[in-house]
Amino acid sequence: MQPTTAEAAEAQRKILNRLKRARGQLNAVIDTFESGGQCRDVVTQLSAVSSALDKAGFAIIAQAMKSCVVEGAEPDGMTTDELEKLFLTLA
């Protein structure tokens, strides 16, 4: 099944939402750190940011792989080997 333009747009919207959520979480980390927050709170929020960014990265790579495999296109001129390397940098 080939993804439609609407499906690709929805996937991009979800990725953008994840990235914006991560930005909000990072702002919370900075605010907590600047206000002398407890180490536990800062690290917990930092962990949430890290997880959100990882999920966004995996979603971006998944979209590129779907484009490459399903549509037969090489996204952004990347080969499947390059996509695999990108994937492994997040793993």
What is the CATH classification number for the domain harbouring 54? 1.20.58.1000
Amino acid, single-letter form, for residue 86: L
Helices (H) and strands (E) in the chain, counts: 3, 0
Number of domains in the chain: 1
pTM across the whole model: 0.72
- Residue 54 counted as domain residue: yes
pLDDT given for residue 89 in this prediction: 81
Which two tokens mark 5? Answer: 């333009």
CA distance 16 to 84: 22
- Residue 2 counted as domain residue: no
Q: Which residues of the chain have pLDDT under 70?
A: 1-4, 68-76
Which two tokens mark 68? Answer: 């490459």
- Residue 25 counted as domain residue: yes
pLDDT given for residue 88 in this prediction: 81
pLDDT given for residue 1 in this prediction: 40
CA distance 15 to 31: 24
